[in-house]
Structure 1
Amino acid sequence: MRVRMTGLAGLAALAALLAGATPASAAPGDASAYAAKLELSLLGGNAVSAGPFAAADANGPTTGTFAAVDVPGVLKTGVLDASATRDDKTGGVHSRAVTADVRLDLLAAVTGAITAKAVEARCDATQKGVAGGTKLVGLELGKLGTVDAEPAPNTVVDVDLAGVDIAKLVFNEQVRHEDGSLTVNAVHLTLIGGVLGALGSGDLVLSSARCGPAGLPIPMASGAGLWLGLGLLGLVAVPAGTVALFRRRAKA
Structure 2
Amino acid sequence: MKTHLRRGGLLAAVVACVALVGAGTAAAAPGDGSAFGLSVDVKLLGADAVKAGPFAAASTKGPTQNTFAGVNLPGVLTSGVINTEAKRDDNSGQVDAKASTADVGLPLLKAALGNVGAKAIEATCVATQKGVTGSSTLAGANLGSLGSVPVTPAANTKLEVKLPVIGNVATVILNEQINNTKDGSLTVNALHVKLLGGGLAGAIGSGDVIISSATCGPAGLPVPLASGAGMWIGFGLLGAIAVPVGIRVTRNRRSSASAAA
TM-score, with structure 2 as normaliser: 0.83
Q: How does 1:108-127 map to 2 (within 5 A)?
A: 108-127=110-129
Paired residue type of 1:47: A
Q: How many residues align?
A: 248
CA distance in 2, matches of 1:139, 1:115: 6
CA distance in 1, matches of 2:11, 2:248: 7
In the TM superposition, residue 119 of structure 1 has moved relative to its aligned partner by 0.6
> 1:174-222, CA deviations, whole angstroms, 9 ceiling, x for partnerless residues?
1111222111110001111223322222111001111122222212233
**Structure (1 or 2) with the larger CA radius of gyration:** 2
Separation in structure 2 between the aligned mates of residue 20 and residue 215 of structure 1, nearest angstrom: 13
* SS at structure 2 position matched to 1:231: helix
CA shift at 1:110, angstroms?
0.9
What's the C-alpha RMSD, in Å, of the aligned pairs? 2.5
Larger helix share, 1 or 2 = 2
AA matched with 1:180: G
Cα gap change, 1:190/1:250 in structure 2, threshold over 3 Å: closer, same or farther? farther
SS of the residue 1:204 aligns to: strand
Q: 2:90 aligns with which of 88, 95, 110?
A: 88
- Secondary structure of the residue aligned to 2:108 is coil
Percent of residue pairs identical = 50
Alignment of 1:39-118 (within 5 A): 39-44=41-46, 46-118=48-120
In 2, Cα distance between the equivalents of 1:139 and 1:183? 21
- CA, structure 1 residues 251+145, in 2 after alignment: closer, same or farther (shift >3 Å)? same
1:165 is aligned, of 164, 168, 171, to: 168
Q: Identify the residue that residue 177 of structure 2 maps to in structure 1.
A: 174
Gaps of 5+ in 1: none
Deviation per residue, 1:143-181 (Å, 9 max, x gap): 123321100000000112225321111000011112221
Q: Structure 2: which amino acid aligns with 1:150? A: T
2:57 corresponds to which letter in structure 1?
A
Segments of 5+ residues of structure 2 without an aligned counterpart are 1-5, 257-261
In the aligned structure 2, how far is the partner of 1:21 from the partner of 1:219? 9
Secondary structure in structure 1 of the residue aligned to 2:111: helix
